């Protein structure tokens, strides 16, 4: 994906819309945490739609669609498909949009989960439920900003990549290497079970650096070696069932797709 193709000949800023699906909206809120840089970023785009700032409905024409949240209803699936048709570029932000995230935990049994919460009748306001899925399960995604929540500066870098092009590649190596660069010592040596063994790097290993085990929010790397990681964790006294359970928090959809799920 390189530069955005203009729909008109009129020189204008790229039109960006923010679409919120099943999520806590925390990633969108976190974008505002770039604080003094926020106006610099907004100055480069024409913000066409953002529920957090305006009640105006989504316009028909736009260049970039930024999507937070998992697809959990048929209505959301339609929104995503329509956004893909209209936008030159789709950016998925946050674990829910990138991996199915927390809503994705319900993917293997959406009917059972809905019944557990709502009983016999799912309220109409919920829409037509479907198995939660990442945005990429429905449409092609040009860029992904991983993690729960997103690093707002990483969001800006990815938005820049969408607007101007970039020579960065999203890494698929797993987190331990980045963690080792920080020389904080491995959390397994302190008895903690850490999912950095299989989680996509790129986040800077912020959590392990602060002494908190990785929970996999950046997503299972497509090059992860889950079997070897599970065996290593087991060798350090962590029950493989617990390892898998921890991994399901953000990666149920990927595990099911890889035949590793329930």
> Rule CB under 8 A: which residues touch other proteins?
34, 37, 40-41, 43-44, 153, 156-157, 160, 163-164, 166-169, 171-181, 183-186, 188-189, 196-198, 201, 221-225, 228-229, 231-232
Of 23 and 178, CB closest to other proteins:
178
Nearest CA among 30, 20, 21, 65 for reference residue 45: 65
Provide, rounded to whole angstroms, the least separation between the CB of residue 25 and other proteins.
22
Of 85 and 189, CB closest to other proteins:
189
Provide, rounded to whole angstroms, the least separation between the CB of residue 234 and other proteins.
12
Q: Is the dihedral of CA 162, 166, 171, 175 positive or negative?
A: negative
Of 11 and 123, CB closest to other proteins:
11
Q: CA 89: distance to chain centroid?
A: 16
Q: Distance of CA 151 to CAs 30, 53, 65, 86, 180, Å? A: 8, 20, 18, 27, 21
Helix H segments across the chain? 26-31, 38-42, 74-86, 94-99, 110-118, 152-164, 176-182, 206-209, 226-235, 240-257
Provide, rounded to whole angstroms, the least separation between the CB of residue 98 and other proteins.
18
Of 23 and 199, CB closest to other proteins:
199
Tokens of 17: 């819309």
Provide, rounded to whole angstroms, the least separation between the CB of residue 242 and other proteins.
17
Of 169 and 210, CB closest to other proteins:
169
Please name the residue that has the structure tokens 């999507």: 67
For residue 189, give the DSSP letter: G
Provide, rounded to whole angstroms, the least separation between the CB of residue 36 and other proteins.
9
Of 25 and 232, CB closest to other proteins:
232
Provide, rounded to whole angstroms, the least separation between the CB of residue 232 and other proteins.
5
Q: How far apart are the C-alpha atoms of 215 and 147, rounded to whole Å?
A: 10
């Amino acid at each position: 994906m390189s530069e955005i193709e203009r729909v008109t000949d009129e020189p204008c800023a790229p039109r960006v819309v923010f679409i919120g699906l099943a999520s806590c909206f925390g990633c969108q809120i976190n974008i505002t945490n770039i604080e003094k840089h926020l106006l610099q970023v907004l100055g480069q785009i024409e913000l066409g739609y953002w529920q957090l700032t305006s009640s105006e409905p989504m316009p028909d024409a736009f260049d970039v669609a930024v999507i937070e949240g998992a697809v959990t209803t048929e209505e959301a699936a339609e929104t995503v498909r329509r956004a893909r048709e209209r936008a030159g570029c789709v950016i998925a932000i946050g674990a829910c949009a990138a991996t199915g995230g927390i809503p994705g935990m319900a993917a293997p049994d959406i009917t059972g989960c809905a019944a557990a919460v709502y009983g016999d009748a799912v309220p109409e306001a919920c829409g037509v439920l479907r198995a939660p899925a990442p945005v990429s399960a429905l449409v092609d995604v040009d860029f992904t900003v991983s993690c729960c929540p997103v690093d707002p500066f990483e969001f800006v870098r990815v938005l820049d990549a969408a607007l101007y092009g970039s020579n960065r590649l999203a890494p698929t190596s797993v987190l331990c290497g980045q963690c080792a660069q920080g020389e904080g010592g491995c959390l397994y040596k302190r008895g903690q079970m850490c999912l950095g063994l299989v989680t996509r790097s790129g986040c800077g290993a912020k959590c392990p650096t602060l002494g908190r085990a990785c929970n996999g929010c950046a997503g299972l790397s497509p090059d992860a070696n889950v079997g070897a990681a599970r065996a290593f964790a087991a060798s350090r006294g962590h029950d493989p069932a617990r390892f898998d359970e921890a991994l399901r928090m953000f990666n149920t959809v990927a595990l099911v797709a890889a035949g590793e799920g329930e």
